[in-house]
Amino acid sequence: MIKVTIDGVTVEYSENNFSTFWELWEEIKPKDRVVAELKINGQKVPVNKIEELFSAEFEGNEVIEVKTQSINQATLELIDEALGYIVKIEAKLPELSDKIIMGKTNEAMSDLKHVIDGITALESMRESISRIIDIGFLGQGHNFNRFQESLEILKKINASLLEQNFTDLVEILDSGLPKVFEFYKSFLNHAKDELISKRGENK
């Protein structure tokens, strides 16, 4: 038998009814909730690695424990992580410009790549959150303008990199990138307030 406990509720399944873990997961995966923790036979499995188990077969006597949380709560935690990430990146921006000025180009370009990857992740998060809750953030004219300005700043960074114009690049990093992060902080804080408000309404 396979013992499955989800948020404290235990159900037993016959391993003969499931050829692979994927088939069982399709049966037990939480609906309208997010997996916060998964343990198999006492061993934690990273949530982002669950799909790697789909082809695994059962031997019997497996013990599976799943803890879930609401989509709103999971989103709030992601928002807090993103806001923390922005604070760390903002603190490092002057150092990034200094590296370019000092001629440490390779090191600076590596750091800049991480910053751009981070902004890409923030944009993906903005899109995902906007699908989860309709907060109408970009519907407000000044926010839409700030979003467009952020896109233009990123285009200028890309152009400076292509032209190897490090003088312009430093100026954009110093004066432009903070505006990009201010936009995402504003969006994330607005989304956080909306989610907390909705959580209060659902109590």
Confidence of residue 200 (pLDDT cuts 50, 70, 90): low
Structural domains in the chain plus CATH codes: 2-70 (3.10.20), 73-201 (1.20.120)
Q: Which among 43, 35, 40 is positioned nearest to 61, based on CA atoms?
A: 40
Mean pLDDT check: name the lowest of 80-94, 96-110, 127-141, 163-177.
127-141
pTM above 0.85, yes or no: no
> Does residue 139 or residue 141 have the better pLDDT?
141
Reported as a single tens digit per residue, the pLDDT across 109-135 is: 999 999 999 999 999 999 888 887 776
Mean of the per-residue pLDDT values of the chain: 91
Strand 63-70 with 2-6, pairing: parallel
